Amino acid sequence: MTAPTAPAATRRRAAVLPIPAGAGLARMVVLRNITSFRHGWIALVTGFLEPVFYLFSLGVGVGALVPHVTTDRGSVVTYAAFVAPALLAASAMNGAVYDSTFNVFFKMKYAKLYDAMLATPLGPRDIAVGEVSWSLLRGGLYSAAFLLVALLAGVVHSWSALLALPAAVFIGFAFAAVGTFATTFMRSWVDFDYITLAIQPMFLFSTTFFPLSTFPTPLQWVVQATPLYHGVALERALMLGEVDASVLWHVAYLLALGILGVVGASRRIERLLLR
């Protein structure tokens, strides 16, 4: 028996997922972004603050009016403990979306950074994978900072909360990939209103601030189709210690969405830039 040769393996993979070429150097794209952010780390701080403000205004403020909430899985918890996991998921989303939309658009349309990259051995796949990795790293960083704040605020109650961080990486992945893909369709800054239009209702209604059972049944289906719902459900299960098999379903949803986004983004980058 001989091991399959590398080119054969690549060809087989390419047949399953029609993804454009890369040189396996996506990490260099991440390295470029790290180098760039060393000059502008302040931008990292601001994006992380929003969910923290929500935690204190809603968790503590509204929490004083609504002492207890019954989750969709039946536990009774304080309001702060209820919203904290959702805000953690939103942190991951924010970090990932911000980078994969505004920053990617600027680099593609104005800085022509990807044109420079494509003149090297890097291919569209390296760019897509690299940018998505960086965005999800940023989402992960926000989540980690938020988790720390939540821990200090005393709203974390289960040891399974340790898994909240790896889970946030899946959320970051899904949003970073879809964000990058969506950005390749943007024609001007005006189009970014569509992103806000998608993110804001998702942030408000994906069982972030009240349980799914509050919605009438048809609306429940709509909510359950959104990626943030799966992120919130995942984080809530882990942070409140309500872990069961459904956790895997949420992870699978986020993973599948992320993979579709990466493939779509690399194909779009190829179409737009390699003319």
Q: Would you tell me which residues interact with another protein (CB under 8 A)? A: 21, 23, 25, 28, 31-32, 35-36, 39-40, 111-113, 115-123, 273-275
- What's the min distance (Å) between Cβ of 10 and another protein? 12
- What's the min distance (Å) between Cβ of 269 and another protein? 12
Q: Which CB, 28 or 251, lies closer to another protein?
A: 28
Q: Which CB, 251 or 273, lies closer to another protein?
A: 273
Q: Which CB, 57 or 120, lies closer to another protein?
A: 120
- What's the min distance (Å) between Cβ of 51 and another protein? 26
Q: Which CB, 99 or 242, lies closer to another protein?
A: 99
- What's the min distance (Å) between Cβ of 101 and another protein? 17
According to the 3-state scheme, what is the secondary structure of the chain?
A: CCCCCHHHHHHHHHHHCCCCCCCCCHHHHHHHHHHHHCCCCHHHHHHHHHHHHHHHHHHHHHHHHCCEEECCCCCEEEHHHHHHHHHHHHHHHHHHHHHHHHHHHHHHHHCCHHHHHHCCCCCHHHHHHHHHHHHHHHHHHHHHHHHHHHHHCCCCCCHHHHHHHHHHHHHHHHHHHHHHHHHCCCCCHHHHHHHHHHHHHHHHHCCCCCCHHHCCHHHHHHHHHCHHHHHHHHHHHHHCCCCCCHHHHHHHHHHHHHHHHHHHHHHHHHHHHCC
- What's the min distance (Å) between Cβ of 121 and another protein? 4
Q: Which CB, 30 or 251, lies closer to another protein?
A: 30
Q: Which CB, 70 or 120, lies closer to another protein?
A: 120
- What's the min distance (Å) between Cβ of 39 and another protein? 7
